Amino acid sequence: MAVVRRNTWQREAVRDALDSETGFVSAQTLHATLRDGGSPIGLATVYRALADLATAGDADSLQSPEGESLYRACDSSGHHHHLICRKCGKTVEIAAHDVESWAQQVAAENGFTDAHHVVDVFGLCAECSAKAATA
């Protein structure tokens, strides 16, 4: 049985704050943004709202190279991957058909079925690369 979540003011506040971010952010960063804007929302509530948004497909979530969970508003309804700038957080959604084929092939070759995968590529965007080259 599916759990039906009420659309509370807290959940709407988290969704709105996430929509205003340009890249992936941590729950702590989003919480600080909300608190700086005068919201009395608690950190645990932000975590729950982000988890619910991710489960519903309204937010992307990933683990940073440091192991921290990061979130951003999802721009796409289908399966996709991300290119993420390590410096500024700029994120580009990409379709990677070769990755899809490879993942299914490797799974099948090893006797796995119902396989799924997550691919997030971290690097420097063109703007950050250019800034680093001139620094």
Q: Contact, 16 vs 9, CB < 8 A? A: no
Task: Give CA–CA dist 55/10, Å, rounded.
Answer: 17
Q: Contact, 24 vs 91, CB < 8 A? A: yes
125 annotated as belonging to a binding site for a ligand: yes
85 annotated as belonging to a binding site for a ligand: yes
79 annotated as belonging to a binding site for a ligand: yes
- Positive/negative CA dihedral, 24, 28, 30, 36: negative
CA distances (Å), origin 50, targets 35, 82, 93, 114: 16, 18, 19, 26
128 annotated as belonging to a binding site for a ligand: yes
117 annotated as belonging to a binding site for a ligand: yes
97 annotated as belonging to a binding site for a ligand: no
116 annotated as belonging to a binding site for a ligand: no
Known binding-site residue numbers for Fe cation = 79, 100, 117
Binding-site residue set: 79, 85, 88, 100, 117, 125, 128
Instruction: Name the binding residues for Zn(2+).
Output: 85, 88, 125, 128
